[in-house]
């Protein structure tokens, strides 16, 4: 489809006034499917050893898979702010989950909206303010609930009965069918809660993997022998820090109910939120397994292994629902004849520890947390079945969306458009390293840190303790041998420190390293 569009002056903040957009080809629709805490190790096309994801794999098969995609700050709200603004956390002002997003700063949805796109955001938001730059939005309050979630809209709060991943997709398709004006291109951000903690599987997948023994990660019983103090002092171990009732879904006895601590105190409310039919299905699935666990009387490493199996299966069951619903969206685009002019990107806000180093959660700059899945389908522009090794980040998404729409990006944006990579072109002067920063203190006791990663090397610096960690990802992909104090790697350590200083200056990081 071709059409001539008029020049549109963007009515936006002064920093971006005067930008214009003019294209002869109809600009593409943009569908960003965004999940929370999805490890690349739990995606089929990335070589998962524990699950299959046929619909995410379909995007990769019909498009491109980025093999070196990373986040800038591995925690929920900051990642979302980076995607919206195209600048690092220290510049957009949202550095940890306690901060409030400033929606008045330029974001790519605002820019697309000003250039004639119809924009919608549905699902997890987590930024503590009402979304800006969207013609339609329906967001979960905070983290949201897996079952019968509330949605906040411009008209108030409503509760939908059902499973959150299905409902976010339902609302996305309903907006496309009932509210989207087909004379305008659309930006739709479908943002799932899953597979975020507390890993409550949907009704269609309660029994998935019930009879399967999942592969354990090589470092499940890591001793952090060469790592710094943060790795030793963290509070995110499957062994010591998972809650029996909240995390692992063991229904408490009456005696246990009276003594619950921490998140375990929420289990009663979680069960009460389910409808009678939902609760009956839940108990039919979990009560026999829980009875077997109590009868086994597990201790030591056997108990840790059981916890890992319970955790990973529920996590993967949540992903199965995500994958099903991605299939629904892809099928809808195909049925409507919209696939050829719609760019579809699937990615996650950050990765997640699936037992590596004995952990769950994220935050650290180690690979399971830093690396994200990112696959893109755009028929006619992206070669099916292609892969890309370049170092890319969530920082690049805003400029990419603006570029494919023919909209000029503000100078303040710090990423780079992925469009040349998507089209198989050589991207002159592409980055050789990425910068990472993490600021949140207290939660899970992970110390703030910053770092740099190249195609082979990673350097992490913890300002609070003054500790450095250096890893050779080629010879030590599991990151268990910290080489920072190894004299034979002193030259490499100095080079990486210099690169970290360069990136800090390049991205305008305040203070001294």
Tens of pLDDT, residues 332-363:
999 999 999 999 999 999 999 999 999 999 99
Residues 412 and 471 in one domain: no
Residues 173 and 98 in one domain: yes
Alpha helices in 351-429 (DSSP H): 367-370, 397-404, 419-422
Residues 169, 145: Cα–Cα separation, whole Å: 15
In a domain, 297, yes or no: no
Residues 45 and 182 in one domain: yes
6 pLDDT above the threshold of 60: no
Q: What CATH number does the domain containing 479 carry? A: 3.30.1120.10
Residues 316 and 460 in one domain: no
Residues 322 and 187 in one domain: yes
> Do the Cβ atoms of 124 and 143 come closer than 8 Å?
yes
Q: Classify each residue of 271-296 as buried b or exposed e, where b means 16 or more C-beta atoms within 10 Å of its C-beta.
A: bebbeeebeebbeebbeeebeebeee
- Using DSSP's 3-state secondary structure scheme, residue 49 falls into coil
Q: Please, which pLDDT band fits residue 380 given cuts at 50, 70 and 90?
A: very high
* Mean pLDDT on 448-466: 98
What pLDDT was estimated at residue 342? 98
Q: Please, which pLDDT band fits residue 512 given cuts at 50, 70 and 90?
A: low
Tens of pLDDT, residues 10-67:
334 434 433 433 345 789 999 999 999 999 999 999 999 999 999 999 999 999 999 9
In a domain, 224, yes or no: no
> Do the Cβ atoms of 196 and 351 come closer than 8 Å?
no
9 pLDDT above the threshold of 90: no
Q: What CATH number does the domain containing 147 carry? A: 3.40.720.10
Q: Which of 372, 406, 432 is the last residue of a domain?
A: 432
Tens of pLDDT, residues 298-332:
999 999 999 999 999 999 999 999 999 999 999 99
Residues 331 and 469 in one domain: no
DSSP-assigned beta bridge partners for residue 158: 151
Residues 168 and 50 in one domain: yes
Residues 56 and 172 in one domain: yes
In a domain, 155, yes or no: yes
Lowest mean pLDDT among 17-31, 178-192, 432-446: 17-31
What pLDDT was estimated at residue 24? 56
Residues 33 and 131 in one domain: yes
Q: Which of 375, 400, 432 is the last residue of a domain?
A: 432
Tokens linked to 94:
């949202």
**Greater confidence, 445 or 18?**
445
Residues 410 and 353 in one domain: yes
Q: Which of 432, 458, 488 is the last residue of a domain?
A: 432
Count, residues in the chain: 513
Tens of pLDDT, residues 107-148:
999 999 999 999 999 999 999 999 999 999 999 999 999 999
* Mean pLDDT on 69-85: 97
In a domain, 266, yes or no: no
In a domain, 158, yes or no: yes
In a domain, 45, yes or no: yes
H/E stretch holding 33 reads strand 29-35
Residues 91 and 178 in one domain: yes
* Alpha-carbon torsion (177, 179, 183, 186), positive or negative: negative
What pLDDT was estimated at residue 2? 29
Residues 464, 460: Cα–Cα separation, whole Å: 12
What pLDDT was estimated at residue 45? 98
Which residue segment(s) compose the domain that 179 sits in? 27-199+312-432
What pLDDT was estimated at residue 26? 87
Residue 64 DSSP symbol: E
Residues 110 and 135 in one domain: yes
273 pLDDT above the threshold of 50: yes
Domain total of the chain: 2
In a domain, 513, yes or no: no
Cα-trace Rg, the chain: 23
In a domain, 115, yes or no: yes
């Amino acid at each position: 489809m071709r059409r001539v569009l008029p020049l549109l002056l963007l009515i936006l903040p002064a920093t971006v006034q005067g930008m214009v957009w003019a294209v002869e080809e109809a600009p593409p629709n943009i569908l960003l499917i965004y999940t929370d805490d999805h490890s690349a190790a739990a995606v089929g096309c990335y070589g998962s050893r524990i699950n299959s994801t046929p619909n995410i794999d379909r995007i990769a098969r019909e498009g491109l898979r980025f093999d070196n995609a990373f986040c800038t700050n591995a925690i929920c709200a900051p990642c979302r702010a980076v995607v919206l603004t195209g600048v690092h956390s220290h510049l957009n002002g949202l550095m940890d989950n306690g901060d409030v997003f400033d929606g008045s700063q330029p974001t790519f949805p605002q820019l697309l909206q000003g250039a004639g796109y119809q924009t919608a955001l549905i699902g997890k938001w987590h930024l503590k303010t009402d979304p800006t730059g969207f013609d339609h939005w329906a967001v979960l309050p905070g983290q949201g609930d897996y079952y019968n979630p509330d949605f906040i809209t411009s008209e108030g709060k409503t509760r939908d009965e059902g499973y959150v991943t299905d409902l976010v997709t339902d609302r996305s398709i309903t907006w496309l069918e009932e509210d989207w004006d087909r004379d305008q291109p659309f930006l739709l951000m479908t943002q799932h809660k899953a597979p975020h903690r507390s890993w409550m599987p949907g009704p269609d997948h309660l029994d998935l993997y019930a009879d399967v023994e999942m592969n354990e990660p090589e470092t499940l019983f890591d001793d952090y022998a060469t790592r710094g103090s943060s790795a030793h002092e963290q509070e995110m171990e499957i062994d010591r820090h998972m809650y029996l009732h909240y995390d692992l879904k063991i229904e408490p006895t009456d005696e246990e109910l009276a003594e619950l601590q921490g998140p375990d105190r929420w289990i009663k409310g979680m069960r009460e939120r389910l409808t009678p039919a939902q609760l009956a299905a839940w108990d039919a699935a979990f009560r026999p397994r829980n009875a077997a666990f109590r009868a086994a009387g597990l201790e030591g490493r056997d108990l840790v292994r059981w916890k890992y199996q319970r955790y990973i299966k529920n996590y993967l069951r949540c992903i199965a629902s995500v994958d099903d619903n991605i299939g629904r969206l892809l099928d809808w685009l195909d049925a409507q004849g919209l696939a050829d002019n719609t760019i579809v990107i699937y990615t996650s806000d950050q990765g997640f520890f699936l037992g590596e180093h004995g952990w769950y959660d994220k935050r650290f700059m180690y690979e399971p947390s830093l690396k994200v899945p990112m696959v893109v389908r755009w028929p006619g522009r992206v070669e099916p079945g292609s892969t890309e090794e370049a170092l890319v980040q969530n920082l690049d998404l805003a400029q990419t969306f603006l570029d494919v729409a023919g909209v000029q990006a503000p100078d303040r944006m710090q990423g780079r458009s992925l469009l040349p990579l998507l089209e198989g072109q050589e991207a002159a002067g592409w980055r050789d390293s990425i910068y990472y920063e993490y600021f949140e203190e207290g939660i899970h006791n992970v110390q703030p840190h910053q770092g740099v990663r190249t195609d082979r090397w990673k350097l992490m610096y913890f300002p609070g303790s003054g500790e450095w960690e250096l890893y050779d990802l080629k010879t030590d992909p599991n990151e268990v041998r910290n080489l920072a104090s190894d004299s034979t790697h002193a030259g490499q350590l100095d080079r990486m420190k210099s690169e970290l200083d360069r990136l800090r200056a390049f991205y305008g990081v305040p203070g001294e390293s």
